[in-house]
Amino acid sequence: STVLRLANGHLAVIGGTQNDISQPYIEFLPPSPDCPFGAECLIPIHLLKESGIDGVKFPFAHVLPSGRIFLLAGAHSKILDPLQRFTPAEDIPQLPPLGLSIHNPKGPSRTYPMGGASVLLPLSSRNGWRAEILVCGGGSGSWMQKVPGAPNMIAPALTSCGRIAPEDPDAEWEYEEMPIARTMGTFVILPDRKVLFLNGAQKGIAGYNAAIKPAHDAVLYDMDAPLGMRWRVLKGSDIARMYHSTALLTPTAEILLAGSSPAKSPLYPSLYPSENRLELYTPAYLQTGCPRPSILPSTISHGTSASSPIPYSSTITLTATLPNRPPFGASQPSRKRLEVVLIEPGYAGHGVVSGQRGVELDL
């Protein structure tokens, strides 16, 4: 299932399976007073039911600035309003299906087991806090390729991406191609408002021994660049990060790479062994020699004790010190060179990074 933290701090458990039986529901935790814990708390979602195995296990879900939920399962998506409990008009809007290109509006599933990935692009006042979702990659075959020896087991992954502003009137997908085909990849939002896409394979789909040709190189996505100029290939890992691999931004602004277990057991034969090594990926912004500001945690104040959680909708104050040398300068730091970004790294698994979001603050 996909677990998503909502705007009020509660959790939505979306989809999943139980004893290999699809669970096309959303459940809220903690349950509301009018919905005691139990089967009656499971709210059926038509999109999940219709998507079948290609959408119900790990659907893509993101909380939009309005508090509503963008949900994609298979190749279809919609917006849900948790305050309406999805009744009776569940489709708030029904968004157009995600295809392969503007000329090919019908495409395969992007969610597990096809192994595509999605990200809510960083939010900023630069574009009026307009929320945009980017969905990339995935397998080009069918779930039958999970069966060992199936003819299409080595079907190439997709290079196709779709980008949509789901709350725009008449929202439509904008298509673009990334430089490397990828399934089972993971998106990581970076502090410079760019997005890193790494891990996974170039052929096959998600699942045990269902993919080959590791996608070693990372790619960087610049959401502000013109269409056709947004992707750049970077050096990646020499380790095959296949099924069950993950990536997560750390407090030091590096990226932690972990995992890969293409076989059900380390004792089972596999082209790619179970991987227990961890890596720290150092982005270019940490290799410039530029001094880094220091945030002093002891200065964080939000009206309660400094060690207590920050309440929702509260105002916080923190102090950061700037190095007394370029590019900040010894006397007049340039605000044009200073950006403040809040990042929720989320929690990652099966290529789904739930709750990940970046917000650029105004100075």
Residue ranges of domains in the chain: 1-95, 97-291, 294-337
Taking 70 as the threshold, does the pLDDT of residue 194 lie above it?
yes
Best mean pLDDT range from 99-103, 193-197, 298-302, 310-314: 193-197
Taking 90 as the threshold, does the pLDDT of residue 224 lie above it?
yes
- C-alpha distances (whole Å) from 99 to each of 160, 175, 185, 326 are 9, 9, 19, 47
**Residue range 86-101: mean pLDDT, rounded:** 65
> pTM for the whole thing?
0.90
d(CA 59, CA 72): 6
- Count of beta carbons in the 10 Å neighbourhood of residue 313: 7
270 phi and psi angles, rounded to 5 deg: -160, 145
Cβ neighbours for 84, distance < 8 A, ≥ 6 positions apart = 92
Q: Determine whether 141 is exposed, middle or buried from the number of CB atoms within 10 Å of its CB (0-12, 13-18, 19+).
A: buried
Taking 90 as the threshold, does the pLDDT of residue 278 lie above it?
yes
The token pair that represents 17 in the structure block: 């399976």
Taking 70 as the threshold, does the pLDDT of residue 134 lie above it?
yes
Calculate ∠ Cα 352-358-363, nearest 5°: 180
Q: Per-residue DSSP letters for 231-287? A: EEEE---SS---TTEEEEE-TTS-EEEEE---SSSTTS--SS------EEE--GGGS
* pLDDT for 340: 86
d(CA 154, CA 157): 9
Residue 305 CA to chain centroid, in angstroms? 33
* pLDDT for 90: 47
Contact of 172 with 218, CB cutoff 8 Å: no
**Residue range 292-302: mean pLDDT, rounded:** 66
Contact of 28 with 87, CB cutoff 8 Å: no
What CATH class does 97-291 carry?
mainly beta
* pLDDT for 89: 42
Taking 80 as the threshold, does the pLDDT of residue 53 lie above it?
no
Q: Which residue in 276, 211, 244, 275 sits closest to 351, CA to CA? A: 244
Average pLDDT of the chain?
84
Taking 80 as the threshold, does the pLDDT of residue 44 lie above it?
yes
- C-alpha distances (whole Å) from 228 to each of 119, 164, 175 are 19, 16, 10
Q: Which residue in 42, 47, 44, 45 sits closest to 28, CA to CA? A: 42
Region of 200 please: left (phi>0), alpha (psi -120 to 50) or beta. left
- C-alpha distances (whole Å) from 251 to each of 259, 267, 283, 302, 315 are 20, 35, 13, 21, 21
